[in-house]
Amino acid sequence: MPEATDRPAAKAGSAPPATLNHALAGAGTERAALGDLRARARSAYEHLELPTWRRSGFWTTSLDQLDIDALEVRSHPAQSSAPAFLNDQRSAGVLVQRDGSVVYTQLDPALAERGVLLCSLEQAAREHSELFERYYMRRLTLDRHKLEAASAAFWSGGAFLYVPPGLQVPEPFQIVYEISTGATAQYAHTLAIGDRGSDLRLREYGLAEPIDGDALHAGQFELYLEDGARCRLAQLVDWGPGAVHDVSTSIVEVARDGWCHWLPALLGGSLVHHHDELVIAGPGGDMAFRGLFFTDAHEHLDVFAVDLHETGPSGGDVHWRGAASGESRASFEGLIQINPGAQQSHTYLQFHSMLLSAQARLDAIPSVLVSADDVSASHGGTVGELDEDLIFYMQTRGLTRPQAVRVIVDGFFEPLIVQLDDPHLERLIRDRIGAKLANAAAEIERYALAR
């Protein structure tokens, strides 16, 4: 079984670390028409086998159980309303893709008048070809592994967002990918651009019904923030209890004096492999890269988070938190990379974990690759279990054990959740964490008794 190459090369000095940008250099940087890119991706797809990622030397993320040929891309007709969970808040615009089709698009007319574009990526390729060709796949690769190639070759629907220079949009843009049925493949692609000096909020959701049978979400996400642009980006992934396999790559590029606050919340999926990479590409660029996850039952989660500084001065602050219950497995690999010449880059990576069951595994692998001398880059973290003294303390105040555990787990995630600065999304995430805890209550109880 070939191993996918999203990790730094094992031998020092042999090959450059395989972050997306280096991989892209290998793939060639010329901009080709969409048809050419699809053809190249298709050829890669046909030659590559399903990927396996080795984690911690102990376990692997493997898709060899997935019968990809049995999955179909399904089409759906347009619908007339947004998903109910978005109804109780204001949005700048909403785009919904169900399985293989964009079924709903809505954009605030006042924003459309000012030049904001929100449409399917298919439509953007036809109607906004100049923007499309300037940005599409600028940072993403298409041949590191079979599912990436599949996504680049076969994506349908897709989301395209463009916010013109200087425009500030306080309400969020919301992009929803839904999987509605089993035996489905969803090849998703979001391309978003915040032009010079713009300010936006963007949310991407990955959601599924409780499906029967296997499903695949092979997603690619790219966000480009031009000079001075600012964005709060959140991704909420909750594929529910069905057998959804999610192999996705997201990349955010921050140009000169740009800023991004990015929080992926990975809260459900039977197998989730995410490569999330934030690139500071211009001097003065700054970011806060947050993330949280909570795995339960037999879920399998594998995150590779990259904080890449191509130029300095630049700032970075990476802070992830993860909890695992049941017999789930989760791995967080965090990489800080400071390229040659990126002087005066300052960044910090921290990861905190909480183990809620003796059968769960949770690994953290931080690494730092620095090729400049006037920089600071370091990492830290904590490993935690449920604190029985704390539980007893709360019980003496009348809280039941499950209530006390909920307080502890909420408190564990709260430092990240409050930073979202978005009550609606905060509530969605807290509710989801609460539901996962309720599922895991019996195991958590057993774990406590066993200790």
Nearer to other proteins, 60 or 403 (CB): 403
Closest separation in Å from C-beta 450 to other proteins: 13
Closest separation in Å from C-beta 378 to other proteins: 23
Per DSSP, the three-state class of 26 is helix
Size of the site for other proteins (CB under 8 A): 23
Nearer to other proteins, 227 or 414 (CB): 414
Nearer to other proteins, 30 or 389 (CB): 389
Closest separation in Å from C-beta 395 to other proteins: 4
Residue located via tokens 């992926």: 264
Closest separation in Å from C-beta 418 to other proteins: 9
For other proteins, the binding residues in 411-450 under the rule CB under 8 A are 411-415
Nearer to other proteins, 327 or 410 (CB): 410
For other proteins, the binding residues in 332-361 under the rule CB under 8 A are none
Closest separation in Å from C-beta 159 to other proteins: 34
Q: Which of 74, 22, 49, 38 is nearest to 147 (CA)?
A: 49
Nearer to other proteins, 180 or 403 (CB): 403
Nearer to other proteins, 187 or 413 (CB): 413
Q: Return the number of other C-beta atoms located less than 10 Å from residue 170's C-beta.
A: 9
What single-letter amino acid sits at 156? Answer: S
Report which DSSP code applies to 418: G
Residue pair 146/50 in contact by the 8 Å Cβ criterion: yes
Which residues does residue 363 pair with via DSSP β-bridges, in sequence order?
Answer: 331
Nearer to other proteins, 169 or 354 (CB): 354
Closest separation in Å from C-beta 442 to other proteins: 17
Closest separation in Å from C-beta 416 to other proteins: 10
For other proteins, the binding residues in 378-417 under the rule CB under 8 A are 387-390, 392-401, 403, 407-408, 410-415
The contact mask relative to other proteins for 220-239 (x = CB under 8 A, - = no) is: --------------------
Nearer to other proteins, 110 or 449 (CB): 449
Tell me the Cα Rg of the chain.
21
Residue pair 160/129 in contact by the 8 Å Cβ criterion: no
Closest separation in Å from C-beta 387 to other proteins: 7
Q: What is the DSSP string of 34-83?
A: HHHHHHHHHHHHHHPPPPEEEETTTEEEE-TT--GGG-B-------SS--
Closest separation in Å from C-beta 426 to other proteins: 13
The contact mask relative to other proteins for 264-293 (x = CB under 8 A, - = no) is: ------------------------------
Q: How many CA atoms lie within 13 A of 396 on its CB side?
A: 5
Nearer to other proteins, 34 or 407 (CB): 407
Nearer to other proteins, 340 or 411 (CB): 411
Please give the sequence-ordered ranges of beta strands (E in DSSP) within 164-242, or none if there are none: 168-179, 184-194, 199-208, 214-225, 230-238
Which residues does residue 304 pair with via DSSP β-bridges, in sequence order?
Answer: 275, 333
Which residues does residue 418 pair with via DSSP β-bridges, in sequence order?
Answer: none
For other proteins, the binding residues in 150-189 under the rule CB under 8 A are none
Residues in contact with 57: Cβ distance below 8 Å, sequence separation at least 6, in sequence order? none
Q: Does 80 bind other proteins (CB under 8 A)?
A: no
Read off φ and ψ for residue 384, nearest 5 degrees. Answer: -130, 155
Q: How far is CA 50 from the centre of its chain?
A: 20
Nearer to other proteins, 33 or 383 (CB): 383
Give the pair of three-digit tokens for residue 409: 């787990």
Q: Which of 254, 260, 258, 264 is nearest to 234 (CA)?
A: 264
Closest separation in Å from C-beta 448 to other proteins: 9
Closest separation in Å from C-beta 121 to other proteins: 39
Sheet strands side by side (includes 117-120)? 117-120, 159-163, 184-194, 214-225, 243-254, 271-280, 300-309, 329-338, 361-370
Which residues does residue 200 pair with via DSSP β-bridges, in sequence order?
Answer: 231
d(Cα 63, Cα 363) in Å, to the nearest integer? 20
User: Which residues contact other proteins (rule: CB under 8 A)?
Assistant: 387-390, 392-401, 403, 407-408, 410-415
